[in-house]
Amino acid sequence: MRIAVVGSGYVGLVAGACFADLGHEVSLVDNDQEKLAALQAGQVPIHEILLPELLARHRGKRLTFSDDLHAAVKESAAVFIAVGTPPTEHGEADLSYVESVARGIATAINGYKVVVEKSTVPVYTSEWIRRILLRNAAAPDLFDVASNPEFMREGTAVVDFFYPDRILLGANSERCAAMLREIYAPMTDGSYYRRSEAIPGPEGAQDPPRLIMTSTQSAELTKHACNAFLAMKISYINAVASVCDAVGADVQQVREGMGSDRRIGPNFLNAGIGYGGSCFPKDLKAFRAVARERGYEFRLLDEVMRINEEQREHFLKKVRNALWTLRGKRLAVLGLAFKGGTDDIRESPAIALVEMLVQEGCQISAYDPAAMERARQALKSGVEFAGNPYEAARGADALLILTDWEEFAKLDWKRMRNQLKDPIVIDGRNLYDPAAVAESGFTYYSMGRPVASPEEAAVEATPARKIGNS
């Protein structure tokens, strides 16, 4: 099938490359000439595992890049809208880009088309797209509007596309539903996974994936409901971690006890400095705004967001407790992306904390495996950028872990001890075993767990003295 994907941002670029790998002919449309030139030249604008391989495999063949929306719509049976929906100052999703694309699509319809929302949008956006198409002279029998929200995680988006927990398709007519099923048929009938060049899946992946058909409104609402629920789990365990800090409990042990309950599960129960990225913060605000517009005050979402904001202050308090005063301190920061596996710094709690520390008078030496260039543009003063973790730690008063990169979980602690001015580690992601770090000579602070010190580690390692006659 010929498919147009409008928007070459994170969602559009990954979806377009993956649709091409399924065997479709894909035209990726964008009006950013610089980005199009870079893509056509073989550059990959985002850090995403396996995406460079897919682009190299299909660029100029099944996957082409264009700024001509009119031509792409005419040539395609399905048009996926994957443009940005940033939040307004009041928290609602800004749908101006979606509206602009819908107007462009309307003028190019020359036969039956399925127009598919791929961006994360509020419920009833599909109805507004339909109205825009009709107002711009599109014949009502020549199009349907559908919803196909993505559930890809940054860092593992390509694998998530091909091995999803479910494929969610929202359609209000059987004609539309049939075309959507055809697009995903190579996955749902299992034929894609039998190909020798198919993207390999993770252990335990469901093959073929489950297909769920709903109304467009239900599909739109499901995306927001999922992201809000996952954010709620993160804020919940962070609130539990604060209680653990207060009573001397260990949140990792609490998490194990909670996560072993099949009704709860361990995923998204990792205490830390809070969620970030382009989805959770934006989608929670948009979901709350939609509920409010319809007369429901979703106060639970207010609390989820409040806890997330407080985590940064909670971590900053740990830094103060460890160092007493902050002004004039040199701190090594590992991690700037909002999570490991991506170069995305949007709404990154790591970036927010670095800015807070700089305001407190700290000098920061930072390192991130992928997000350095983006961070340079966001952090203008008080921050140096190092070439590796050990360079960042040289002469620092403490080491701060702010992003859960796998690389950081394998630090050489002896080498790190030789670089740091003071052997203090403040871990905002709970990457390490406290006893192991303490045994390496560090005082170790983490989220929701007791402080571990070399003195305590030495006492625990000393054999108990025998009592009585030997």
- CATH number, domain containing residue 298: 1.10.1040.10
What six digits make up the tokens of 440?
Answer: 């390496």
If pLDDT is split at 50, 70 and 90, which confidence band does 215 have?
Answer: very high
Indicate whether 255 pLDDT > 60.
yes
Mean pLDDT of all residues in 160-189: 97
246 in the same domain as 153: no
pLDDT reading at 153 higher than 50: yes
In a domain, 177, yes or no: yes
Q: 168, 183, 214: which is the final residue of a domain? A: 214
Whether residue 331 sits in one domain with residue 437: yes
Residues labelled as active-site residues: 279
Residue 467 included in any domain: no
- Would you say residue 15 lies in a domain? yes
pLDDT of residue 124: 86
468 domain-assigned: no
Whether residue 276 sits in one domain with residue 149: no
> Is 297 found in the same domain as 261?
yes
122 backbone dihedrals φ, ψ, rounded to 5°: -70, 160
The sign of the CA dihedral 87, 88, 94, 100 is negative
Close Cβ partners of 92 (under 8 Å, ≥ 6 residues apart): 122, 285, 286, 289, 290
Q: Is the peptide bond before 208 cis (omega within 30 degrees of 0)?
A: yes
Looking at the fold, whether 66 and 50 belong to one and the same domain comes out as yes
Residue 99's CATH number: 3.40.50.720
pLDDT at 73: 97
Phi and psi based region of residue 406 (left: phi greater than 0; alpha: psi -120 to 50; beta: remaining): alpha
> Mean pLDDT, to the nearest integer, of 127-152?
95
**Whether residue 304 is found in the same domain as residue 315:** no
- Banded pLDDT at 93 (limits 50, 70, 90): confident
**pLDDT tens-digit series, residues 109-129:** 999 999 999 988 888 899 999
Q: What is the pLDDT of residues 39-63, one digit of tens each?
A: 999 999 999 999 999 999 999 999 9
- Judge whether 469 lies within some domain: no
Residue 203 shares a structural domain with residue 244: no
Report the mean per-residue pLDDT for the chain: 94
Same domain for 23 and 125: yes
In a domain, 464, yes or no: no
Q: Given a cut of 70, is residue 10 above it in pLDDT?
A: yes
Q: What is the percent of the chain with per-residue pLDDT over 90, rounded to a whole number?
A: 89
**292 in Cβ contact with 298 (< 8 Å):** yes
Tell which of 253, 279, 308 closes a domain.
308
Which residue range forms the structural domain that includes residue 118?
2-214
pLDDT confidence of residue 348: 97
285 and 351 both lie in a single domain: no
Q: What is the pLDDT of residue 466?
A: 44
Residue 304 placed within a domain: yes
pLDDT value at residue 461: 59
In this predicted structure, the answer to whether residue 246 has a pLDDT above a threshold of 90 is yes
pLDDT band at 462 (very low <50, low <70, confident <90, very high): low
- 470: in domain: no
pLDDT of 470 > 50? The answer is no
Provide the whole-model pTM.
Answer: 0.91
Per-residue pLDDT at 90: 76
- Domains of the chain: total: 3
Q: Are residues 430 and 329 in the same domain?
A: yes
Q: How many CB atoms lie within 10 A of CB 422?
A: 15
